[in-house]
Structure 1
Amino acid sequence: MGVDYYNILKVSRSATEEDLKKSYKRQAMKWHPDKNRVNNKEAEAKFKQISEAYDVLSDPQKRQIYDLYGEEGLKATEFGAAGPYGNSDSGFLYNPRDAEDIFAEFFGGSSGKSRASHRNGVNGEAGRNQGNNAKPKPKAKAAAIESKLACTLEELYKGARKKLKISRVVPDEFGKPKTVEEILKIDLKPGWKKGTKITFPEKGNQEPGLTPADLIFVVDEKLHAVFKRDGNDLVVHQKISLLEALTGQTFTLTTLDARSITIPVIDIVKPGRELVIQDEGMPISKDPSKRGNLIIKFEVIFPSRLTLEQKSDLKRVLGGAVN
């Protein structure tokens, strides 16, 4: 992937816009050349790397290309090179911004000012004293858009990656609306529950004068043919005959990760009885090494009728039975 921009900014791959801004401010103040007179060349190189990382990750389009194709795929577009985004029809050209321009956006000043003016800003803990460098009023943000994300119990048990193709409207280079398509990747974590939300900041439509809406996907569980989820537990309804309830039964069950487990039933099964098998439930999302329980709920099927002979035999066999 070449340069790891996430590592340079010291943020995770799921970092939000606010995370990126906070980390950039810390790193830029630390490595600005005017604050590192001794190791000036090293600081200048670090400062440029930090600025380039923020420039890429704070721009949704650049970040998407970087996540999919790395630094090489991103910068291949700078010269119109062939590649997934490097052809003339891509509508994207990577032009890195000046590091001092980015710094000035956060801490005041302008790109036309000399390095000396930036030095004054840095040495005075730039940006902390607002003075006349009033920040522009942020644009209002469109309301978030929520959509259900249907997941099987198997996916929520083992974890899975889902790829979703979305279409959204954004302004082109002339300000006219155009529709673009993107592939979003969602990594489901083992044990996630219904209602878990995954947010993609500013991936909604971009309307004039508004910051694009966030896209939010809400986990929903599909019905399963065998298992029903109850918190971190899994419930199975098992039908057994009256004879099996009285004499015992052994049955097998295929788990959500395709294992086959044997469940012996030795004791008499009374109506309403439940059998609890420890640690065979859903993973617990905060600690996937731990699991809930598997609960077997029995339903005893009674015969619809008995012959006189069968009744006589039952009386003879069960007549002396104790509770």
Structure 2
Amino acid sequence: MGADYYKLLGIGRDASEEEIKKAYKKMALKWHPDRNSGSEEASKKFKEISEAFEVLSDKQKRTVYDQFGEEGLKGGGGPPPGAGAGPSGGFSGFSGFPGGGGNTFTFTSGPSEFGGGRGGFSPSDPNKVFETFLSQMGMGGFGGLGGMGGIGGMSGMGGMRGGRSGASAFDQDDSMNGFGSFGGMPGGMPNGRRNSRPQPQPPSGSTPSTPSGPSEITRPLKVSLGDLYQGTTKRLKVGRRLLDGTMEDKVLEIDVLPGWKSGTKIRFPRAGNEQPNGETQDLVFVVEDKPHEHFVREGNDLVTHVKIPLVEALTGDGSKRVVELLDGRKVQVPLPGGVVKPGQETRLPGEGMPIRKGGTNSKGDLLVKWEVAFPERLTAAQKEGLKRVLG
């Protein structure tokens, strides 16, 4: 059963736009992680209500959700091509649709997240949703809300390092996530970058321009563990909306470097939608690991599980098992000496993921965790034999 976005915000299904905003503001302040330091429940709640608001505050997403539920929304069960949509910007975000084969993907940053009925809705960063909400409400950060410890403003993603094709990439390990810079909060980080660029002020007596959307659009870039091990090049076809209402397509290339981690961010400045205020949105892709059939990444180490029969666990001194690595090489892994216990590990140094710190060519380790396959049943004779041997 899908999530009940209305229930998460504590509103009825006929709630107005203002009621949705008011409910979200109340719930977001209540469950914001900075008010509930270290609370996993608060972080989860904050993420859930941000997702609920992102959907219900957008007329098109709300319509799809009301008709098809969360599964239909995220599964791409949206309106057919050509269905009406609101203006660009706001919370519409940057939707992705499978396109072509291999390492080519298609993303569209226009107003509709459901064009062609494929792709589906992917929730944005809850911190970004909250920041965008505050800026559109004219609050400019936490400073105008009170009761939040005097937090002066919000920043985005710092610690950028140079990338390819005009893009800049930075690792999650070296960046300040979420709000980053807290001007008046004890223990805050004063060196964060602001996520929103300063908006030009209209001349005195003039009419303010139409509010623009967020200064950047963030979407996940799913990469296989093998590609993160060896490196690859991803080609992304991007459609962006121009001020005259037309769409422009371009192809971006991302060189995925060996050792990149989930959370690595790649920024393409001014590659998104053109805004009414003359600014152009940045496109930011965030690397996500695709699950692998045999390996799990733990930092710079790789973990795999190898199953052996009970008799070999008891008697297999000197036995080895062959493990095929992500680059296709096969290594012989010796069983631990003596009786092998379930969960016991064998570590192979230097056979893990590439390490990108300090300009070295080193790698993490491979951890083989041994699983012991116990027999489903034993005959009476086998039981007696075991008693004689082990008793």
TM-score scaled by structure 2?
Answer: 0.45
On the 8 A contact 1:142/1:212 being kept in 2, the answer is no
Find the aligned partners of 2:167 and 2:309 in 1 and give their Cα distance.
57
Corresponding residue of 1:208: 276
Q: CA deviation at 1:261?
A: 1.0
Corresponding residue of 2:136: none
Q: CA deviation at 1:13?
A: 5.3
Find the aligned partners of 2:164 and 2:365 in 1 and give their Cα distance.
33
Find the aligned partners of 1:185 and 1:144 in 2 and give their Cα distance.
18
Cα displacement string for residues 178-207 of structure 1 (whole angstroms, at most 9, x for unaligned residues): 211100000011110001000000111102
Find the aligned partners of 2:201 and 2:257 in 1 and give their Cα distance.
34
Residue 273 in structure 1 maps to residue 378 in structure 2: no
Q: Which runs of 5+ in 1 are unaligned?
A: 1-10, 18-136
Residue 217 in structure 1 maps to residue 285 in structure 2: yes
Find the aligned partners of 1:164 and 1:206 in 2 and give their Cα distance.
19
Choose which of 224, 238, 242 in structure 2 pairs with 1:170: 242
Could you say what the CA RMSD is over the residues aligned between the two structures, in angstroms? 2.5
Q: CA deviation at 1:304?
A: 2.1
Find the aligned partners of 1:300 and 1:241 in 2 and give their Cα distance.
6
Find the aligned partners of 2:267 and 2:230 in 1 and give their Cα distance.
21
On the 8 A contact 2:266/2:285 being kept in 1, the answer is yes
Find the aligned partners of 1:198 and 1:138 in 2 and give their Cα distance.
30
Pairs aligned (count): 187
Corresponding residue of 1:160: 232
Q: CA deviation at 1:275?
A: 1.0
Find the aligned partners of 1:264 and 1:236 in 2 and give their Cα distance.
14
Q: CA deviation at 1:162?
A: 0.4
On the 8 A contact 2:309/2:373 being kept in 1, the answer is yes
On the 8 A contact 1:158/1:257 being kept in 2, the answer is yes
Q: CA deviation at 1:317?
A: 2.7
On the 8 A contact 1:141/1:211 being kept in 2, the answer is no
Q: Are the structure 2 counterparts of residues 167 and 244 from structure 1 closer, same or farther at C-alpha, using a change threshold of 3 Å?
A: same
On the 8 A contact 2:320/2:335 being kept in 1, the answer is yes
Cα displacement string for residues 100-159 of structure 1 (whole angstroms, at most 9, x for unaligned residues): xxxxxxxxxxxxxxxxxxxxxxxxxxxxxxxxxxxxx58988421001000000000001
Identical-pair percentage:
45
Q: Are the structure 2 counterparts of residues 149 and 288 from structure 1 closer, same or farther at C-alpha, using a change threshold of 3 Å?
A: farther
Structure richer in strand, relative to its length: 1
Corresponding residue of 2:375: 303
Residue 183 in structure 1 maps to residue 245 in structure 2: no
Q: Which runs of 5+ in 2 are unaligned?
A: 1-161, 169-199, 203-211
Find the aligned partners of 1:271 and 1:223 in 2 and give their Cα distance.
24
Find the aligned partners of 1:288 and 1:261 in 2 and give their Cα distance.
23
Structure of greater Rg: 1
Report the 3-state secondary structure (helix = DSSP H, G, I; strand = E; otherwise coil) of the residue aligned with 1:290: coil
Paired AA for residue 304 in structure 1:
E
1:43-192 to structure 2, matched below 5 A, reads 142-171=214-243, 176-192=244-260
Cα displacement string for residues 199-234 of structure 1 (whole angstroms, at most 9, x for unaligned residues): 000111102223101000000000000000111110
Find the aligned partners of 2:354 and 2:283 in 1 and give their Cα distance.
27
Corresponding residue of 1:253: 323
Find the aligned partners of 1:256 and 1:178 in 2 and give their Cα distance.
44
Structure richer in helix, relative to its length: 1
Report the 3-state secondary structure (helix = DSSP H, G, I; strand = E; otherwise coil) of the residue aligned with 1:198: strand
